[in-house]
Structures are given as structure tokens and as C-alpha cells.
């Protein structure tokens, strides 16, 4: 029987928004909001950090937290270290972004369902692109596109528009093809997570700066679950102010 644990990697250092996990959102830190949202769906939740300020903040609100190395290349590496430090019976780890304070419990439930198939190694989420966002949105390199096969396994992720729609002007593409935007939540079986962290960087990963391409290049399958839930990622102070206004938390 599958048992799940949620781990939220959180760094203090950020070139665009230092101290982001401790930013105040309506009287609550960002990391606490993420933690409380995740706890609505998962019984076992931890924050994995490399900073004592974040560690102390999580302890202060009664959350579970584990210190990890400052040398990790990615959130996946941090999650793997935390998983092996935690005394848990979980066999599937869900990696939740620490900068999405309004993450929906339903999204976590959707990614959990991927593991009802015993062949699932890794799972992630995608959302159909809303055509109301127009062409500019689908061309945005910060919105990672994904295509997947009939079994729901990812074929490729790209910052470029994907796929190319031949025989139509690009202004007509949204009328003739659905596009899917990647939602950066991952889940892995424990043994697979360990294997992923030992892989060297791949050429496609370096080209696109997308870690998941390393896994695909090495033959791992990534199951893609579809969600209709919106996500609000916070990358900059400006994003934070916009999110506060959106959720009336000014």
C-alpha cells in the first residue's frame, strides 16, 4: 500500500527575492501558508531547508522541518537528503514548491492518483493553457510546455512553444491545438528519487534549464496528471504584491 510524504524545499538565498519563504502574506509567512495547504491533503509534511531562519520559523508555527546541505544543485537533491533523514514509512515523496502559498490540496490528490498504477515512477501535473491568455502567454519561456503520449507519459518539456502547428499561421494555433503548461509539482517512488539524484546533468537539461529532461534522457517515465486548479507562483516581490491583491490579503 502506498504511503505518501510531502516535502517542501525552501532556500533563503534567491537572486530575485532573498528571504522569500519568510515573506509575510496576510500575517502568515509564505512557507507556513504552503505547509498548511499541503497538510490539508497529506498527514506527513516536512520543510527541507538550508537556513536556520527558515528552520526556526517552521518550528515556531509547529511544523516539521529538517536541515539539509547548502550545496544542493536542485530542490530534488534537497528533497532526497531530507527523505533519508526523516524517520518515515512513506514510499512515495511529493515535492511541493515552497513559493506557491495557494497550492490546492486537490492538486496533491491528483498527483497521488498517478501511483494507483504500479508502473508509475515519477508523476507531475499539467494544465491546459487558457486561450484567454493569448499568444503572448503561450510563447512565454517561463511557462514550460509539455506534450505527453496516450498513456499520459511525458514525451518532452520545453520553454519554447510545443508543439509546432504546421499549415496554420501562428496566430491561428490556439484555434487548432490545445497546449499544456507544466505545473512544477513532482512525486517519486523512493528508490527512483535516489537514482535521479545520482544522474549527471544532460545536454537537453543544460540547453533548456529543465531538470526533468535529464530524467527523460535517461529513460525514466514521467506520468502527467491534468489539473484545472490555478497556481500562483511567487518569484519576485512584484509577484507577491499581485498575489496579495488577488486574494485580498493586503
The pLDDT tens digits along the chain (250 residues) read 899 999 999 999 877 788 899 999 989 999 999 999 999 999 999 999 999 999 999 999 999 999 999 999 889 999 999 999 999 999 999 999 999 999 999 999 999 999 999 999 999 999 999 998 888 888 999 899 999 999 999 999 999 999 999 999 988 999 999 999 999 999 999 999 999 999 999 999 999 999 999 999 999 999 999 999 888 888 788 888 887 777 776 5
| DSSP string computed for 140-170 | -TTS-EEEE-TTSBEEEEESS-SS--TTS-G
Domain 1-103 and domain 118-230, same fold? Reply is yes
β-pairing, 122-128 with 45-49?
unpaired
CA distances from 16 to 7, 12, 19, 142, 235 (A): 23, 11, 10, 14, 7
Tell me the CATH number for domain 118-230.
Answer: 3.90.550.10
Tell me the CATH number for domain 1-103.
Answer: 3.90.550.10
Domain boundaries, the chain: 1-103, 118-230
pTM over 0.75? The answer is: yes
Amino acid at each position: 500500500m502506498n504511503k505518501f510524504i510531502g516535502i517542501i524545499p525552501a532556500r533563503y538565498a534567491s537572486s530575485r527575492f532573498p528571504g522569500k519563504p519568510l515573506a509575510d502574506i496576510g500575517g502568515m509567512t509564505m512557507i507556513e501558508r504552503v505547509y498548511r495547504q499541503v497538510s490539508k491533503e497529506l498527514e506527513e509534511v516536512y520543510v527541507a531547508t538550508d537556513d536556520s531562519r527558515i528552520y526556526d520559523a517552521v518550528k515556531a508555527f509547529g511544523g516539521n522541518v529538517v536541515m539539509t546541505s547548502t550545496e544542493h544543485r536542485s530542490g530534488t537533491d534537497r528533497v532526497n537528503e531530507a527523505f533519508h533523514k526523516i524517520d518515515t514509512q512513506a514510499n512515495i515523496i511529493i515535492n511541493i514548491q515552497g513559493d506557491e502559498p495557494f497550492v490546492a490540496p486537490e492538486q496533491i490528490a491528483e498527483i497521488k492518483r498517478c501511483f494507483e498504477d504500479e508502473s508509475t515512477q515519477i508523476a507531475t501535473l499539467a494544465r491546459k493553457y487558457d486561450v484567454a491568455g493569448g499568444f503572448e502567454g503561450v510563447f512565454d519561456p517561463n511557462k514550460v510546455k509539455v506534450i505527453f503520449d496516450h498513456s499520459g507519459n511525458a514525451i518532452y518539456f520545453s520553454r519554447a512553444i510545443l508543439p509546432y502547428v504546421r499549415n496554420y499561421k501562428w496566430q491561428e494555433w490556439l484555434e487548432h491545438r490545445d497546449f499544456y503548461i507544466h505545473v512544477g509539482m513532482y512525486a517519486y517512488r523512493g528508490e527512483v528519487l535516489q537514482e535521479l539524484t545520482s544522474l549527471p546533468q544532460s545536454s537537453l537539461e543544460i540547453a533548456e534549464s529543465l531538470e526533468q529532461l535529464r530524467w527523460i534522457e535517461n529513460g525514466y517515465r514521467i506520468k502527467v496528471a491534468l489539473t484545472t486548479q490555478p497556481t500562483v507562483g511567487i518569484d519576485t516581490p512584484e509577484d507577491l504584491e499581485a498575489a496579495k491583491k488577488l486574494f485580498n490579503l493586503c
